[in-house]
Amino acid sequence: MAGKKNNHIAQSHQNGQQNGSSGKNGGGAESSDRLNPTYNLKAVVNETGLKPDTLRAWERRYGLPKPHRTPGGHRLYSQQDVDMLKWLIGRQDEGLSISRAVDLWKQIESDKRNPLEEHPIGLDDAPPVVTTISNSDNLATLRQSWINACLDFDERRADAVLAEAFALFPTETVCFSLLQRGLAEIGIGWYEGRVTVQQEHFASALALRRLETMVASTPPPTRNGRVLAACPPEERHTFSLLLITLLLRRSGWDVVYLGANVPTARLEPTLDQAKPHLVIMASQTLYTASTMLDMAKLLQQENYITAFGGAVFNQIPKLQSMMPGYFLGSKIEQVPFLIEQLLTNPPPMPAFIESDEKHHETLKHFTDQQAKIDALVWQYMGDTPYQQYLKNANRELGQNIIAALIFGDMHLIQANLDWIQGLLVNYHFRMPENVLKQYINSYRKAAREALDDRGSIILDWLNEFKEI
């Protein structure tokens, strides 16, 4: 099976070099694109973190990089220049002086080898996709116009704003700075109670349709190596995974996109048929991260290279060490570079922390008693105008407890506590602070009555929950 053995990955990389699909000396359209002078000085400064004076000094002293000059004398850099600068920074981080790092780069090139392949940039130092933004104020104005159109349910105006943005800026820039940030701002509005769930769904649907159209129009793959992209069970937020699919396809990779709520139980036949070299998963909440865990363990058992990401892993960094596979980082712009590293020269698989038997026993006890706890909460809350929201509140808290037990650490919820509190008080349930406190006290009392010693992990955590 193509996805199960690392020698298949290496062979794909070799074939890609022979076909001119990767590397500085590979030839073909991609190699030509990498050498095109595209990025201005500001973009390179933002990308690398180097100061303009440093870039000019390196160019003057060491002859690297060698930017193209416009008729007006402005510097333009290629993707190869950007990758080289990142490579030099990486060697400095390893202890080399800049002069020695430059000498090493030139020495490897003089031997007709590719420095970026012999000393690949580490996953932690991966550069984001670089895009030139010549008028950020205009882009911010377009983003706000798109948000306003979505909140007004004005599809034609929203599409017209996107058409203008794509005409003025590179595709990646519009995806990151307009669609992704626009949806994030709308999501914050929903969380704070200023945006309705209908408005949020309308905006998400428009953004997803645009991404789906762009994915469908991408050219056939030019690189060897297939990627499977899937959201785990019960994860229905697909924007980030679909955007990753678009970025990878635009980079020449063959991506099979499965979308939302992919059941683990039927994954193996799909793997056998699709034969991916790498599987990407994305979760946005603690609960769906817990459903991802079973999927990740299956993939590890079948020896597939696996990568994962999503908002929850940025919100709760400890989760990154509890999931089998490679974490794709906090910036979606970096993912194409990271995927290339994993497909061509994957580092050792990171170790992950597994939950203990006591948490598994508590999980079974809690799920057996969850319906009783929920019923007791209704009873203890009594006749309150907010009782209609108890079902959702019980589900939200219950799912978080289940997820924390699956991972073996109840304090994962503690890290997410402010978010849960805001969710209950703001749009979702609009519980006043005093009612929220009453709800938590009722949940604690119900858990004490329904759970025995096997539930001590939950009860101890609920006692820490008093200060909410």
In our burial notation (b when 16+ CB lie closer than 10 A, e otherwise), range 25-59 reads ebeeebbeebeebbbbeebbeebbebeeeebeebe
Instruction: Tell me whether residue 120 is in a domain.
Output: no
Residue-wise DSSP of 248-301? HHHTT-EEEEEES---GGGHHHHHHHH--SEEEEE--SHHHHHHHHHHHHHHHH
Query: Over the range 7-24, which residues count as b (16 or more CB within 10 Å of their CB) and which as e?
Result: ebbeebbeebbeebbbbb
Q: Tell whether 236 and 344 lie within a shared domain.
A: yes
Contact 242, 215 (CB under 8 A): yes
Q: Are residues 414 and 455 in the same domain?
A: yes
pLDDT for 13:
38
246 shares its domain with 316 = yes
Where does a domain end: 334, 354, 374?
Answer: 354
Residue 246 CB contacts under 8 Å (≥ 6 apart), including other chains: 175, 211, 214, 215, 218
What is the Cα–Cα distance from 115 to 23, expressed in whole angstroms?
A: 10
What is the model's pLDDT at position 8?
40
pLDDT score for 402: 96
CATH number at residue 136: 1.10.1240.10
Cα(286)–Cα(415) distance, rounded to whole angstroms? Answer: 11
Q: Does a structural domain hold residue 255?
A: yes
28 within some domain: yes
Q: Are residue 206 and residue 229 in the same domain, yes or no? A: no
Domain boundary residue, one of 354, 378, 402? 354
pLDDT for position 1? 45
Identify whether residues 340 and 374 lie together within a single domain.
no
Q: Which residue, chain included where needed, has tokens 């697909």?
A: 238
Structural domains in the chain (count): 4
From residue 367, alpha-carbon distances to 53, 264, 374, 413 in Å are 61, 20, 11, 17
Q: Are residues 203 and 162 in the same domain?
A: yes
Does 84 reside within a domain?
yes
For residues 349 and 404, state if they share a domain: no
Q: What is the pLDDT along the chain (468 residues), one digit of tens a residue?
A: 444 444 343 333 333 333 333 333 333 444 556 788 888 888 888 888 888 888 888 888 888 888 988 887 888 988 888 888 988 887 776 666 787 788 888 888 887 888 887 665 544 444 444 343 345 568 889 999 999 999 999 999 999 999 999 888 888 999 999 999 999 999 888 877 788 889 999 999 999 999 999 999 998 999 889 999 999 999 999 999 999 999 999 989 999 999 999 999 889 999 999 999 999 999 999 999 999 999 999 999 999 999 999 999 988 899 999 999 999 998 888 899 899 989 988 888 888 999 999 999 999 999 999 999 999 999 998 876 666 677 878 888 899 999 999 999 998 887 555 655 665 555 455 556 667 778 888 999 999 999 999 999 999 998 876 544
Q: What is the CATH number of the domain that holds 7?
A: 3.40.50.280
Domain termination site, one of 312, 332, 354 = 354
Same domain flag for 200 and 293: no
Q: Are residues 372 and 455 in the same domain?
A: yes
Residue 118 covered by a domain: no
Say whether both 145 and 31 belong to one domain: no
121: in domain: no
Whether 119 is covered by a domain: the verdict is no
For residue 309, the cross-strand partners are 282
| Cα–Cα distance for residue pair 231/62, rounded to 1 Å | 47
Domain extent for 243? 1-18+222-354
Structure tokens at 111: 């031997």
Specify whether 319 is located in the same domain as 340.
Answer: yes
Chain centroid to Cα 270, Å, comes to: 23
Which domain CATH number covers 99? 1.10.1660.10
Q: Flag whether 382 is in a domain.
A: yes
On whether both 260 and 347 belong to a single domain, the answer is yes
